[in-house]
A and B are shown apart, each in its own frame.
Chain A
Amino acid sequence: AQRVTQPEKLLSVFKGAPVELKCNYSYSGSPELFWYVQYSRQRLQLLLRHISRESIKGFTADLNKGETSFHLKKPFAQEEDSAMYYCALSGQKGGSEKLVFGKGTKLTVNP
């Protein structure tokens, strides 16, 4: 079964501090992992995916298959990073494009 766990419902940091949003997954094959973000009064949108191995808005995420984790990190948080963040997994079996989402972490960056 596919499962995504985001252990923190709420995360609060100060501007300029490092931030890490945790994501652990359960999947027996080779997954594709994503981070989606929803800013206040905006639509849910893709932030980054592990296969791209790129930094978006200063955020990076590394897939650790040994720890089955895909934590999202940013060295210096900004107030505009305040949003709801969802980790998502897609399994490759059967070519399914189904996404399984975690329950999300609400990040608040305080001034």
Chain B
Amino acid sequence: DAGVIQSPRHEVTEMGQEVTLRCKPISGHNSLFWYRQTMMRGLELLIYFNNNVPIDDSGMPEDRFSAKMPNASFSTLKIQPSEPRDSAVYFCASSFFAGPPRDEQFFGPGTRLTVL
């Protein structure tokens, strides 16, 4: 298994453009997480899904951000329009959740987004 797959690995775009980040979780996992990492704020949870359903999106910064999980093997995080302050590394992680204790979250390599 290649683990969690994210694409693209690097994205450079101009302010105002739409950005779509993609994630393929580990097969068999039923939970998927999107995180954002910045120097100032560290690692922040944006949203997570369980069985393809969004459970907690309280970390999504504003309406410019949206996430979908149309099936168990694919998720997207979209920013429209993008702004320079969105520049960060975005991580996707997946796990299998069947109640406490919680299973390990497996992280993807991240997408480094730069908005000019």
Q: Do A and B associate with each other?
A: yes
Q: What residues of chain A have their CB less than 8 Å away from a CB belonging to chain B?
A: 32, 43-46, 49, 51, 86, 90, 92, 95-104
Q: Indicate if the CB atoms of B101 and A32 lie closer than 8 Å.
A: yes
Q: Indicate if the CB atoms of B107 and A45 lie closer than 8 Å.
A: yes
Q: A98-B45, A103-B42 are in contact. List 10 more A-B contacts (CB 8 A).
A: A43-B106, A43-B108, A44-B107, A46-B105, A86-B42, A96-B55, A97-B31, A97-B97, A99-B105, A101-B43
Q: Please, what's the 1-or-0 string for B37-69, where 1 marks a CB less than 8 Å from any CB in chain A?
A: 000011111001010000110000000000000
Q: Indicate if the CB atoms of A90 and B42 lie closer than 8 Å.
A: no
Quick one: closest B residue to A45, CB to CB?
B107
Among A44, A51, A92, A97, contact of B48 (Cβ-Cβ < 8 Å): A97
* Cross-chain pairs A/B with CB under 8 angstroms, 7 sampled: A45-B106, A49-B101, A92-B100, A95-B99, A97-B102, A99-B102, A99-B105
Q: How far is the CB of B116 from chain A (nearest CB, A)?
A: 25
CA distance in complex: A44, B4 (Å): 11
CA distance in complex: A46, B102 (Å): 12
Q: A43-B108, A86-B43, A103-B41 are in contact. Are A95 and B100 (CB under 8 A)?
A: yes
Q: Indicate if the CB atoms of A97 and B41 lie closer than 8 Å.
A: no
Q: Does B1 have its Cβ within 8 Å of any Cβ on chain A?
A: no
Quick one: closest A residue to B48, CB to CB?
A98
Q: Indicate if the CB atoms of B102 and A90 lie closer than 8 Å.
A: yes
Q: Does B91 have its Cβ within 8 Å of any Cβ on chain A?
A: yes
CA distance in complex: A66, B35 (Å): 30
- What are the residues of chain A within 8 A of B3 when measuring CB–CB? 43
Q: Indicate if the CB atoms of A97 and B43 lie closer than 8 Å.
A: no
- What are the residues of chain B within 8 A of A96 when measuring CB–CB? 55-56
Among A43, A44, A51, A99, contact of B101 (Cβ-Cβ < 8 Å): A51
- What are the residues of chain A within 8 A of B33 when measuring CB–CB? 99
Point out which of B33, B44, B91, B107 has the most chain A C-beta atoms below 10 A from its C-beta.
B107
